[in-house]
Structure 1
Amino acid sequence: MNLQDYIGKIRTFLSYKVFTLICFLLLAIVLYGVLFYNVKPQTYDVELFSVSDKTIRSPKTIVDEERTKEEQQKAADAVEKVYTFKKEKQQNRVSLIDSIFEFVLDINEETSTGKEKTDGKPEKKPIEEKLELLKSNLTANVNEDVTKSIPDEVFLALLKSNINELERARTIVVGQVETLMSEKIREENVPHYKNLISDRIGLTSLHSSLKDASVELGKYAIVANEIYDPEQTEERKKQAIQSVEPVKILQGQVIAQEGHLIDHETYHQLQLLGLLKSNPSVKPYIGLGIFVFLIIGSLFLYFTTFRVKEEKKQNYLILLSFIFIISLILMKIVGIISDLELDNIGYIFPAAMAPMLIRILLNERFAFILTIILAACGSIIFHDEIAGSINVEIAIYILFSGTAGILLLTNRNRRSNILQTGFYVSIINVFIIFFLLFLGNGQLTKIEYVYYLTFAFVSGLLSAILTIGLLPFFEAGFGILSTLKLIELSNPNHPLLKKILMEAPGTYHHSVMVANLAESACEAVGANGLLARVGCYYHDIGKTRRPQFFIENQMNIENPHNHLSPESSRDIIIAHAKDGAEMLKKHKLPKEIVDIAEQHHGTTLLKYFYYKAKEENEGINEADFRYPGPKPQTKEAAIISIADSVEAAVRSMSRPTLEQIKEVIQSIVQDRLQDDQLNECDITLKELEVIKKTFCETLNGIFHSRIEYPNSK
């Protein structure tokens, strides 16, 4: 009992969907378990202000957010406040002071109330009335509320002064304001400039009250003209913050040196990296879970859309899983060896083994999918002693090596071709190594180059050797009929083929002729031509039990059916299909070959013996003279069924012409269709036309006309 039989027993207890889900779940668990150690961060039991007993390096590159914020704050604090010089303030303040003097002069020009005294001089307005009028005019015509900011004593002193004194005071104050306000004055420097204008005006020869009033006006005129700009300042701070490079802890960076003190900074970095046993990080495990989910999810989606029978789909899944797990185990073993200070031994991993096995046993698409998955897993397992890191170089190496194995394995029919492919893969591996080394501009010694190249070369050869060694186990365990197995079965030295050749030479020749027809027709419609050829070799093995009862073996002997009843002849002829299937099962030939032997006659009617029996008994049942079947279930079986009849019919003809061959083929195919013999296989009418054409070409090449040479005398 092979592995497939055990799997079949499990299937009987579970539905297809449940069984498939269990397979994917187990594969996910195995994948997570294999990669778990490689992403598990190494933690250290260290205390603050203790001495490190080993050198600790960072397993990854991360940003120290706390330190980065500190540096950004320092950069922001270093930005000076931005001030904007308002040049127009000089003219505004000068105009304000000038306007005050102008209003005072205007009021003083109004020297009378319009009435005359007894001595004939105009009557002057009271000073209080002038003050009120001045303040009213200033309030109405000046934007600033100067009357509240400037004391009344200042206005009274101005109103009491004559025109000449006012003009002189006006010139002095306006000049000093204009001079000082031309300089950049910040808010904090305003008192200094007020004192400065006070001192300068105080040195003038104005009379005391007017001088004091002029000082107050000058001090009032002095304001800040270089104003703090909060928006510009904030923008410059943002620019300073953005210009700060993030503070990073680089992968491979030494965090703690052996024998050195664990200070606050070192402890903070160890804590940030999750290297302390007191606060291990769970992020690597979550990341690995996402990685496994993506891989298993992708496989699940692909298998869901894969259009084959459920049983076959599950066989593919289990086979793929086994090969994948074997590759992971090999990868893990090499990874463990690389941890023993054997640098870069990861390149010895037989990266092309799994792709070549899948290419031979399944198809190219599955092989490419597995290659990509193995490359991703390899990048984690061969992590250069830094848990959780990704080794891109080894991923590229595995990807290219596996792809080379798939593409170079063009002829899968011989085991020697696998070894040859392994040699070619070794050469490709060497080129990949040179590409990686030269691109990285690495400085290596000669002995290191030798190690690299040796590992790469051994990887290719090891892939071929393991492929050849594991192939028979998978073929036997899963009952897979690979091309290599078919080639082995086509060897004339196989015991059953030798049996046919020795005991039924006519049948052997007939089988070879049918094989030529069936193979060419299968290849023309995209079916498995090699399977058809090998199936033809064995399809009539049942005739070896009674070879003389079949016409192709009746050489120089009387036909034994002449002395038998139609029913006896029927039983003998029909039995060869069942006998052949039993013999093939006994010799453990693949199921596909057994099915061809069992199905190549379908449920067709033995017309000759049926009509012969009908001549003797009109009430004979037609069903009794039909093969038990089943009908052909595959294209290969259907094509062999037609080819078997076509070859026998054409061989019985004397010097068949092309037109006669066409008529025979058309008649046989039409008979199969009308008899519903092709209803249970997926062959189409269009493919039948291609098959008929191929049969015609092949048979015409065999039975072509020959020139008749005169007998030599």
Structure 2
Amino acid sequence: MDFQQYISKIRKILNYKVFTSIIYGVLAILLFGVLYHNVKPITYDMELFSIAENTIRAPKTVEDEDKTQEEKENAAEEVESVYVMKKEMAQNRVLLLTSIFDFVKDTNHELDQVKEGKKQTKEDPVATIEPRLKLLKTKLTENVSEDITDSISVETLTALLQADISVLENTKETLISNVEQLMNERIREEQLAKMKERFVDQMKTAKFPASVEEAALQLGQYAIVPNDLFDAELTEERKKQAMQDVEPVKILQGQIIVQEGHLIDRETYRQLEMLGLLKSNPTPKPLIGLAIFVVIAIGTLYIHFSRVQETEEKKQNYLLLVSLIFICSLIIMKIIGLMEDVNLYEIAYIFPAAMAPMLIKILINERFALIMTILMAACGSIVFHDGISGTIDVEIAVYILFSGLAGVLFLSGRNERTQILRAGLFISVVNILLVFFLQLIGSGQFTLIEYTYYVLFAVVSGLVSAILTIGLLPFFEAGFGMLSTIRLIELSSPNHPLLKKILTEAPGTYHHSVMVANLAESACEVIGANGLLARVACYYHDVGKTKRPHFFIENQINIENPHDRLPPDTSKDIIIAHVTDGAAELKKHKMPKEIIDIAEQHHGTTLLKFFFFKAKEENENVSEKDFRYPGPKPQTKEAAIISLADSVEAAVRSMNQPTSEEIRALVQNISQDRLVDRQFNECDLTLKEIELVNKTFCEILNGIFHSRIEYPDFKQKKVVNGNATN
């Protein structure tokens, strides 16, 4: 049982959704399994204060959050407290002192007026200091923003009330002058006592009556307050800014955490634990990341396949084909990646990056090839990780991406083996340019030998891509029944056994097939169909006639037509049988499904009119259905065009020296008859395309059956003296 039969058997058991789900699931598991080793963190069995057996480097760049927080706290502690000098406080304290002296004068003035209005006696309370003191306290309490009566002693207030006006004024001026001078300087809380001492020293140099000296000192000391105040909000803002300005402390990828033979102290152990390098504390993050990557990769394929406008069977074949090519490329990539682990530096450049894209472009189409290129570049960035697990290599991703794109772009439409090799040479040139770009952009210092290796790897990558494409192509074509351009070109060779069989056993059919191929190929190319497929299918479409070649008129050379001696039913069966016989012969030789389908469909369900009407002459009740081909009707544009070309070529060949008008009328009648007979209802051939096909047929047939000059018969003439005479 070959691969196609095995897959077909599975399809019969499972429906489309289940089958494709299994493929996606298996592909996801294989992709995860292949890449697992490259992202799995390397862990070590180490204990605190043990001796390191290996030199351990950081597999990735990570932020040391503990160290970063410590640096931030240190930066915040280094920020000095912010003090703001309130310059307006000097004026406020001066105004306070002025108010006190003013209230003292007002109090004395009011009570003196009361005293003059009354007859004074020794027992008169107005004559005592008590009313004055009480009134002064009341004024101070009502009119001053702060309660100074609790801060200034009664003795001080009494001394002020009892002082003369001149002494009071002199004291006020001296006191305010000294307070204002000191308050214009920065005074912090811790400097307050010192400033008050300075005030006392300055006041002692002034001449004050003994009665007000102590009061002046107390008032001045009360008036002097801190004016350089701590700003908690601004200090906090500066601390926050200082913490924000701290650069995160990072352990850089490749940084040595501990050297072989060194003691693993607490700090080293903490870093190893943070990096997930200890077996006692492994981190699952890389595996979660890989799972996300697999979901994205498989999801990309799923979305693209869901939008492909093909039959379910064909989509399954495409999915299997893409999956196998993908896995093959990953295996090659993995093998090269293992070689990188044994210090074969930059061996990744030898990876045949263009192989998978070229295979898929040949077997499916360019769009699938581009998607495969992107996926391979992403996988390559994981596999070729410079020996550090859990990292990606952007340089190799760029290399694989552009190398694969070069393969897709340089591969010509014909896709012959020589063209694939030529594309491999172009890919090698692109690879060399990519290698120099990647090495020079990083200002790398390399020796001539190293550059030689790089160039050698790049050339080998391109050539191996082409060689593997050529070598694997037949296996995929045979396994999936894929019909590539190369396969079609091989089938078009006259040395093919079936074509030799047609040529030797039915030469007229062979010639007819070649003529039909010319018509069909040109018509297909005009409307954008596959002309090469049409040509090759035409070569084989009548292979069933080799079973009874003499029953077909193109092979009846100088012999009697055997149908003249047969009843219409028998003739009909023989003619119709060439379709089923041809399909069976093609299947026997394991020909591509597309060619077998065209062989079955090239007559559709058309009516054998000649034998039908002949039978009707003998029996009026004959069924038309019995004289129709079994079908199916043409399912593709190529099959429909071959059906027309087959009928047109046979009809025109039967005409005697047809004119252009006769050819045009015949072609139009045949195509119109097929439309009326609804032979094109199951393919997507449009009326506009049918008109283009008809026009192309007429142009080619006019070139074949053009009128020729009628030459005289020289055998009936004789030459006399160099002149021809009758």
Give, in whole Å, the separation in 2 of the partners of 1:94 and 1:619: 136
Aligned to 2:40: 40
TM-fit CA distance, 1:711: 6.3
Q: What CA distance in whole angstroms lies between the structure 1 residues aligned with 2:178 and 2:361? A: 98
Residue of structure 2 aligned with 1:417, choices 413, 416, 419: 419
- State how 1:237-252 maps to structure 2 within 5 Å: 237-252=239-254
* Contact residue 34 and residue 330 of structure 2 kept, 8 A: yes
Query: 1:709 Cα deviation (Å)?
Result: 5.7
**1:147 alignment partner, SS class:** coil
Partners in 2 of 1:706 and 1:436 — Cα distance? Answer: 67
Q: Matched residue of 1:423: which SS?
A: helix
SS of match in other structure, 2:203:
helix
Structure 2 partner of 1:436: 438
Q: Deviation string for 1:68-113 (max 9, x for gaps)?
A: 0110111111111111111111111111112211222233345351
- The amino acid of 1:99's aligned partner reads S
Match of 2:464 among 462, 465, 472: 462
> Does the 8 A contact of 1:2 with 1:479 survive in 2?
no
State the partner residue of 1:349.
Answer: 351
Which residue number in structure 1 is paired with residue 597 of structure 2? Answer: 595
Which of residues 218, 224, 227 is equivalent to 1:225? 227
Where 2:149 maps in the other structure, the secondary structure is helix
- Matching residue of 1:531: 533
Shift of 1:484: 1.1
Aligned: 1:290 with 2:292: yes
1:565 corresponds to: 567
Amino acid at match of 2:112: T
Q: CA deviation at 1:588?
A: 1.7
What is the CA–CA distance in structure 1 between the aligned matches of 2:156 and 2:469, rounded to whole Å?
Answer: 110
**Aligned partner of 1:157 among 156, 159, 162:** 159
Structure 1 residues 361-393: Cα deviation after superposition (integer angstroms, max 9, x where no partner): 111111111110010000000000000101000
**699-708 vs 349-358, greater mean Cα deviation:** 699-708
CA contact (8 A) 1:360 1:412 kept: no
Pair 625,123 (structure 1): closer, same or farther in 2 beyond 3 Å = closer
For residues 415 and 262 of structure 1, the distance between their equivalents in structure 2, rounded to whole angstroms, comes to 61
Give the structure 2 partner of residue 52 of structure 1: 52
Residue 184 (structure 2) aligns with = 182
| Percent identical residues | 64
Distance 1:118 1:414, change over 3 A: closer
Tell me the distance in 2 between the aligned counterparts of 1:18 and 1:522.
Answer: 37
SS of corresponding position for 2:150: helix
Counterpart position of 1:135: 137
What's the secondary structure of 2:116's corresponding residue? Answer: coil
Partner letter of residue 39 of structure 2?
V
1:27 Cα offset (Å): 0.6
**Retained in 1: the 8 A contact 2:125–2:131?**
no
Taking a change above 3 Å as real, the CA distance of residues 117 and 625 of structure 1, as seen in their structure-2 partners, is: closer
Q: Which moved more, 1:507-516 or 1:571-580?
A: 571-580
Q: Give the counterpart of 1:629 among 628, 631, 637.
A: 631
CA separation in 1, counterparts of 2:419 and 2:528? Answer: 23
Structure 1 residue aligned with 2:95: 95
Q: Select which of 347, 359, 362 maps to 2:361.
A: 359
How big is each residue's C-alpha offset from its partner over 1:562-602, in whole Å with a ceiling of 9 and x where there is no partner?
Answer: 33332332222222222212222222212221222222112
Please give the secondary structure, in 2, of the residue aligned with 1:149.
coil
Say if 1:131 and 1:156, in contact at 8 Å, map to a contact too.
yes
Q: Does the aligned pair in 2 maintain the 1:433–1:452 contact within 8 Å?
A: yes
TM-score scaled by structure 2?
0.95
1:701, 1:234 → 2: CA distance?
96
Q: 1:556 aligns with which of 555, 558, 577?
A: 558
| Whole-angstrom CA distance in 1 between matches of 2:688 and 2:256 | 71
Task: Give distance in 1, aligned partners of 2:190 and 2:572.
Answer: 125
Question: 2:537·2:598 contact (CA, 8 Å) conserved in 1?
Answer: yes
Q: Which residue of 2 aligns with 1:10?
A: 10
Whichever residue aligns with residue 114 of structure 1, its letter is E
Amino acid at match of 1:164: S
Superposed CA deviations along residues 426-469 of structure 1, whole A, max 9, x for unmatched, are 11111110111111111111111111111111001111111111
CA distance in 2: counterparts of 1:107 and 1:567, whole angstroms: 148
Structure 1 position 508, deviation (Å): 1.1
Match of 2:116 among 114, 117, 125: 114
Q: Which runs of 5+ in 2 are unaligned?
A: 715-723
Q: How does 1:607-626 map to 2 (within 5 A)?
A: 607-626=609-628
Q: Retained in 2: the 8 A contact 1:413–1:487?
A: no
Q: Which residue is 1:192 aligned to?
A: 194
The alignment status of 1:166 with 2:174, answered yes or no, reads no
Conservation of the 8 A alpha-carbon contact between 1:111 and 1:125? no
**Between 249-258 and 672-681, the greater mean CA deviation after superposition:** 672-681
TM-superposed CA distance for 1:656, in Å, is 2.2
Tell me if 1:26 matches 2:29: no
Number of corresponding residues = 712
One of 487, 490, 502 as aligned partner of 1:488: 490
Task: Give me the TM-score of the superposition, normalised by structure 1.
Answer: 0.97
Counterpart CA distance in 1 for 2:703 and 2:236 is 92
Q: Which amino acid aligns with 1:495?
A: P
Q: Distance in 2 between matches of 1:338 and 1:576?
A: 60
Please tell me whether residue 76 in structure 1 is matched to residue 108 in structure 2. Answer: no
Q: Deviations over 1:31-83 (max 9, x none)?
A: 00100010001111222222222211111011111100110111111111111
| Cα deviation, residue 503, structure 1 | 2.2
Q: Which shows bigger deviation, 110-119 or 362-371?
A: 110-119
Higher mean C-alpha deviation, range 384-393 or range 697-706: 697-706
The offset of 1:710, in angstroms, is 5.9
Shift of 1:630: 2.3
1:469 and 1:118 mapped to 2: Cα distance? 138
Question: Of 668, 671, 681, which aligns to 1:666?
Answer: 668
User: Aligned equivalents of 1:197 and 1:466: distance in 2?
Assistant: 100
Q: 2:332 aligns with which of 330, 334, 339?
A: 330
The answer as to whether partners of 2:120 and 2:127 remain within 8 angstroms in 1 is: no
Match of 1:264 in 2: 266
Q: CA deviation at 1:180?
A: 0.6
Residue number in structure 2 paired with 1:319? 321
CA distance in 1, matches of 2:25, 2:547: 51
User: Secondary structure of 1:50's match?
Assistant: coil
Describe the SS at the equivalent of 1:411. Answer: coil
Matched residues in 2 for 1:545 and 1:116: separation?
Answer: 160
CA distance in 1, matches of 2:225, 2:481: 100
2:649 aligned to which of 640, 647, 650: 647
Match of 1:586 among 576, 585, 588: 588
Q: How far does the alpha carbon of each residue in 1:525-549 deviate from its partner, in whole angstroms, 9 at most, with x for none? A: 2222111111100111122222222
Gap change, CA 1:497 and 1:116, over 3 Å in 2: closer
Partner Cα distance (1:567, 1:46) in 2: 92
SS state at 1:255 partner = strand
The CA distance in 2 between the partners of 1:58 and 1:123, in whole Å, is 94
- Deviation for aligned residue 1:697: 2.4
**Larger displacement relative to structure 2 (625-634 or 263-272):** 625-634
In structure 2, do the counterparts of structure 1 residues 413 and 392 end up closer, same or farther at CA, with 3 Å as the change threshold?
A: closer
Contact 1:117/1:123 (8 A) holds in 2: no
Is the counterpart of residue 406 in structure 1 residue 405 in structure 2? no
Q: How has the CA–CA distance of structure 1 residues 14 and 118 changed in structure 2, closer, same or farther, with 3 Å as cutoff?
A: closer
User: Which position in structure 1 is the counterpart of 2:480?
Assistant: 478
Matches of 2:705 and 2:242, distance apart in 1: 92
In structure 2, C-alpha distance between the alignment counterparts of 1:45 and 1:192, rounded to whole Å: 65
Determine helix, strand or coil for the equivalent of 2:112. coil
Report the secondary structure of 2:257's partner residue.
strand
**Amino acid aligned to 2:66:** E
* Letter of the structure 1 residue corresponding to residue 9 of structure 2: K
Aligned 8 A contact 2:362 2:415 in 1: no
Deviates more, 1:391-400 or 1:13-22: 13-22
8 A contact 2:498–2:543 mirrored in 1:
yes
